Amino acid sequence: MTETAKHRYSLAAMLFHWVIAVAVIWNWRLAENAEHAATRSEAIAIFADHKALGITILVLTLGRIAWRLTHKIPPLPANYKTWERVLARTTHLVFYILLIGLPIGGWLANSLAGRSIDMFGLFTMPPLPVGENSALAETIFGIHGTGGEIMVYLVALHILGALKHTFFDRDGGIFRMLPFGKVGGAPARTIEP
């Protein structure tokens, strides 16, 4: 196994990563577009796609977690400082919490509002058996929106970190999650606190 291959994620992990990343950004844009829709019916139609894509993200995330639990992940580069290691692990943990919590929260809020989720016209996700409570639904929708904002900032932080490691530290950061490019290009440095 080459040095680059030892520090690169598997093709399946890459596929999960990039499909989920695109879906999350697309879903954020759907929510933004729905909030600024010209009519209520247009907003409802856009939110229908947002909800279906959210459930799709949940399923993909559960698949990614199953893959990660059954396959070894590459180690972080040796040149990462302690704070970078802690930030990387914390960011990934918060990502997983949001990737699971946001769709479940959205589904729960819709269920409390008495709504099912149409999965792109293919089938319908019924409401969870929680009864109706419109006040609680609105509270959870508010928390869901705040979680979505946190996700956007986390995505930006993740992108900045990947760019820093790729272009400033030159350790091939972004290429760990791509099937091309050199990984581990920077010489190992002493890990500092």
Residue-wise pLDDT tens digits, 84-140:
999 999 999 999 999 999 999 999 999 999 999 999 999 999 999 999 999 999 999
Helices and strands (H, E) in the chain, number of each type: 5, 2
Q: What is the pTM of this model?
A: 0.89
* Helices of type H across 38-120: 40-70, 82-112
Q: For 11-70, write each residue's pLDDT tens digit.
A: 999 999 999 999 999 999 999 999 999 999 999 999 999 999 999 999 999 999 999 999
Confidence of residue 4 (pLDDT cuts 50, 70, 90): low
Side chain identity at 174, as an amino acid letter?
I
- Which residue's entry shows tokens 């959870």? 140
Domain ranges across the chain = 3-177
Rounded Cα distance between 125 and 190, Å, is 52
- Indicate the pLDDT class of residue 187, thresholds 50, 70 and 90: very low
The CATH number that domain 3-177 falls under is 1.20.950
